[in-house]
Structure 1
């Protein structure tokens, strides 16, 4: 019987990191390179060997390029918009095809270590939402031969929260600080928890310090970098009571912190690691076991939807049926239901705040459909978002079997929510 793995993947421009859920330890475990068990950052490169007619990825590709005759393929992220085909061993590839191949090979390089292994769930975390990248990744399930819902895409912010809130509770009794110092510069996230209500509310405050602190600015001047970071850290940790601090990103990979360490370690625990996002994605992949995360907390960030979208059944209790529930990133918030009209040609849409006193309604008249007997018009109602506050409700006529074929009519109702609890259509 095949062993099924929950996998988290941190997909960045130059490197990929992965982790899998260890059932015995009951926590994610980082996946090392196949040819170097001390290295966990896998280069995003491919190598095709003419000698073996075999594709290599990551560290194996870096190694094979010096020992075998072949073709190296790098810059995959930078060339995703490049429509010029690349010919390798007599076959033409697009950069998008090579990019998806690279991801599959990264996963396969782990699965091959077991006699029989498959992907149960793969969650890919990226620094932030990118529409083109998400569209490309939406076809990954076909390449990997898994069900569509076996692959999910999220952000560093979301996977960072999943990691933090799966640590021991004493680390997040109060606010939590996360400093991310990557190639683009320093970003700071403060995670606050409002506990006097149910569900408890997680809010994230973000400060962009990349113009003040970036790797290109300092070069080898780690003394100035330490002083600048100590100043920023001192200011931020005084803004709230911080239980713990997490440091991640290649900027923290070298031992340059001296003054800043003294600032951060005053009465709080500090953790440094490059695997926070991949392990957070892995916790999310496990999903069901950690569903209490979403039941206990409502997450309010710049990318999350703050309201539910649904319909009224029109009964005596005015029952609300949600179609898409808020509390998640807008690009992962969607849903659909099928309804049968009962003595009406209208659908009442409801927009309902998750933790705020807000509700808006509107009625959509289903026009242009031939008159049919009662309860013989079936509709598909779906919800999609364009950003955290804007989206559309799409209503499709499904007809009613062979007796009353569909008209293929589609009704689209756009909506826009603003922070003063108003809704615009």
Structure 2
């Protein structure tokens, strides 16, 4: 039997996780439900060890075991792991990073129950916002799960919306799409803008926080949506978040449905992350580049000669998440003591050349100096460049010289 390729989208919230998956023979992602045949997608971020037998349970089952006094464990695992907490379960002390990794391992076995011979191609993890601490936590989990760098990716909710919206039929995003996220007692509005004059199309997602809905929610939301979508035609409106529960939307929903497609659901971010996995593994074609607050805003390349042909070797790609933007290559220096970096905006044909001088580099014959060039993003608009003299084999030993530069983009 041929092994299927499995793509995963994992949404880490404060109290819950959601998992969407897609195999190479599926036309679109599906989301794991906690109750078969239902749309109960939220899996509590809980883990519990049953007393006496040492068996671990996760999600709703873990909460039930703890509630019945049949075991002990903890909830809100992501936040606890992020804070570096340790917990005591059945008399043993556990690192919550280890417990969160166990939780991930357990929920990722669920898609494989629906079919055999599946190999993880890529998992994309999404959360409301990104920072260095969250990225480091995911790196720890990836290490415990033995994922390679090519097997996992981390994005925020805005980027998940980008992948989800633009993976739908063209009629649903022809005039762009918007998202209202009503959770944490705050109404957040994400709106999309595409640059139709660039190839591939550059896409921006902008966020406006309207805060809590005061007084009558339907009336307050009607004021919000009137302000948000009246200035431009949008093809689709998406609604997500626990606070949309209940049938309180009447006049506001009537207004939104006037000439627009409107969708309500809780698994948009998980599905968007799964679409991202499919796209980055080549399962789905893509004609867009996302430029968000976490993404690099410029392409950085070296102009090099490869087998007598001049080519541009890319070190940093516009649209690449800056938390993950690290690259390294080796080059031979050709009759100069400078290295030229070509900086180009993704929607421009013109490039800026930034020359970095290698002060006091040993004099050697042309192409007899091998250099290591390493780039590491410091933010979405700054890159640290480290250049090391590697010498040239046994002929010229390395001088051990290192040059470091900060390149502001």
Structure 1 equivalent of residue 267 of structure 2:
275
The Cα of 1:249 is off from its aligned counterpart by 1.3
What is the 5 A alignment of 1:202-217? 202-210=203-211, 212-213=212-213
What is the 5 A alignment of 1:108-147? 108-111=109-112, 114-147=115-148
2:309 is aligned with 1:309: no
The Cα of 1:404 is off from its aligned counterpart by 4.1
2:340 is aligned with 1:348: yes
Q: In 2 relative to 1, CA 397–32 (structure 1 residues): closer, same or farther, beyond 3 Å? A: farther
Deviations 1:359-391 (A, max 9, x none): 332222334554444423222222222222122
- Once superposed, what is the RMSD of the aligned Cα atoms? 2.7
Please tell me whether the aligned partners of residues 97 and 140 of structure 2 are also in contact (alpha carbons under 8 angstroms).
Answer: no
Q: In 2 relative to 1, CA 255–311 (structure 1 residues): closer, same or farther, beyond 3 Å? A: same
Please tell me whether the aligned partners of residues 324 and 336 of structure 1 are also in contact (alpha carbons under 8 angstroms).
Answer: no
Q: In 2 relative to 1, CA 318–110 (structure 1 residues): closer, same or farther, beyond 3 Å? A: closer
What is the 5 A alignment of 1:170-181? 170-181=171-182
Q: In 2 relative to 1, CA 380–253 (structure 1 residues): closer, same or farther, beyond 3 Å? A: farther
What TM-score do you get using the length of structure 2 for normalisation? 0.89
Q: How far apart in 1 are the matches of 2:84 and 2:17?
A: 24
Q: In 2 relative to 1, CA 122–408 (structure 1 residues): closer, same or farther, beyond 3 Å? A: farther
Structure 2 equivalent of residue 423 of structure 1:
none
Query: Aligned match of 1:394 in 378, 386, 399?
Result: 386
The Cα of 1:273 is off from its aligned counterpart by 1.1
Structure 2 equivalent of residue 106 of structure 1:
107
What is the 5 A alignment of 1:10-409? 10-33=11-34, 38-67=39-68, 69-80=70-81, 82-83=83-84, 85-89=86-90, 91-111=92-112, 114-210=115-211, 212-213=212-213, 224-287=216-279, 288-289=281-282, 292-293=285-286, 296-313=287-304, 320-356=312-348, 359-409=351-401
Deviations 1:58-111 (A, max 9, x none): 122123224563212123333335455333345432223323332222223443
Deviations 1:130-180 (A, max 9, x none): 210111101222211332321111111111111111100011111211111
Deviations 1:341-375 (A, max 9, x none): 22333211221111146533222233455444442
Deviations 1:213-272 (A, max 9, x none): 3xxx66xxxxx1111111110122111111111111112232221010111011111111
Deviations 1:283-338 (A, max 9, x none): 11112436642xx3333333322211122338999854321110233224343322
Instruction: Tell me which moved more, 363-372 or 347-356.
Output: 363-372
Please tell me whether the aligned partners of residues 278 and 284 of structure 2 are also in contact (alpha carbons under 8 angstroms).
Answer: no
Runs of 5+ unmatched residues, structure 1:
219-223, 418-425
Q: How far apart in 2 are the matches of 1:154 and 1:180?
A: 17
Runs of 5+ unmatched residues, structure 2:
none
